[in-house]
Amino acid sequence: MMMMEILDEAKLCVPHLNSSCRRPTHPPTTVMLIYVLLSSVSFITVALNLLVIISISHFRQLHTPTNILLLSLAVSDLLVGLLLMPVEIIYINVCWFLGDVVCTLYYIMDYIITSASVSNMVLISLDRYVAICDPLRYHSKVTNGTAKMCVCLCWICSVLYSLLLLHEQLEEPGRSNSCFGECVVVISHIAGLVDMVLTFLLPIAVIVFLYCRVFVVVLHQARMLKSKVAAQHSGALTVRKKEMKAAITLGKVVLVFLICFCPHYFPTMAGEDTFINASSAAFDIWLAHFKSCLNPVIYAFFYPWFRKSVKLILTLRVLQPGSRETGTLF
């Protein structure tokens, strides 16, 4: 009997403490494989998004409104790999000992980054919509200054929204924890519904609507370009193809977002409270964060400027004088 009690205490985060949580228990081999796999994902996420940020920031020719929005998206993806993923990796097989305040700050950061990422998706879709559906006025409507202002508003609103959503956690850190050594936040069904509408359903509805309009306009233009009159405007055809390719690429980014985020809202759809545990990050959390690794991979496959700028960065040619003005390679 005494031996059983000793074994039970050994499984606690803090032995001899009745309010202590039990330590996560996984086979050592499984833990090692998970650590290696998720650490690799985190490293790749940081490395790829850092390449996107350096590329757009360094080369002046890439300072366009669309790329400014992509830069903001890459920053949010970088923060996921740099701040959120490492915490989730560390606490796969250990208890949470950073305290309730840090736990709350972690969740606030998570919601800020997620909200900003979703807002960036909407801005990118709107940018493509104006570029294709109103090309003659695009450059006067959408400027670098406008894009920067929208990005700033996007991040400010994300901060305010996250503070409002988690205000109860801020007022009483650790209120959702059931025992010592746990980092948990429980969002009520009502708050979960509001969050699902504002950060998932509404943005997706706007994005789908804009892309449907884009494809309808492109199909209409394709029919027009088949006529003899349109045949005289081959230059316009080239521009349309370029804009359409950009829209398709960004559409794939949105599709990845949909696939990765749907499981996160399953509890809300089922009428349940949303239970998030940082000390044992579930599959749906990692899937939602995995999109931050996939976004720059999509750029690498579909954006020639990204592939070429990466070559310049990795070969350190960006350190040469005048490299910021390099333009013929893009």
What sign results for the dihedral spanned by CA atoms 138, 155, 116, 167? Answer: negative
As a whole number of angstroms, the distance between CA 136 and CA 149 comes to 22
The reply to whether 252 falls in a domain is yes
Give this prediction's pTM: 0.82
The reply to whether 10 falls in a domain is no
What pLDDT is recorded for position 306?
Answer: 84
Domain count, the chain: 1
As a whole number of angstroms, the distance between CA 93 and CA 149 comes to 42
What pLDDT is recorded for position 54?
Answer: 92
- Interacting residues of 317 by C-beta distance below 8 A, sequence separation 6+: 323
What pLDDT is recorded for position 289?
Answer: 79
What pLDDT is recorded for position 261?
Answer: 67
What sign results for the dihedral spanned by CA atoms 41, 297, 307, 136? Answer: negative
Count CB-CB contacts under 10 A for residue 98: 15
Q: What is the CATH number of the domain that holds 107?
A: 1.20.1070.10
- Which residue range(s) make up the domain with 108? 28-325
What pLDDT is recorded for position 216?
Answer: 78
The reply to whether 17 falls in a domain is no
Task: Locate 310 and state its tokens.
Answer: 């990466």
What pLDDT is recorded for position 281?
Answer: 52
- pLDDT tens digits, the chain, 330 residues: what are they? 443 344 345 567 767 777 777 776 767 787 788 888 888 989 999 999 999 999 999 888 889 998 999 999 999 999 999 998 888 887 777 777 788 888 888 889 988 998 998 899 889 889 988 888 888 888 888 999 999 999 999 999 999 999 998 888 888 887 777 777 778 777 777 887 888 888 888 888 888 888 778 777 777 766 666 664 444 544 555 555 655 665 666 667 667 777 776 666 655 555 554 545 555 456 667 777 788 888 888 776 677 888 888 888 888 888 888 788 776 455
The reply to whether 11 falls in a domain is no
Mind giving me the DSSP string for 282-313? -HHHHHHHHHHHHHHHHHHHH-HHHHHHHHHH
CA atoms within 13 A on the CB side of 62: 26
The reply to whether 22 falls in a domain is no
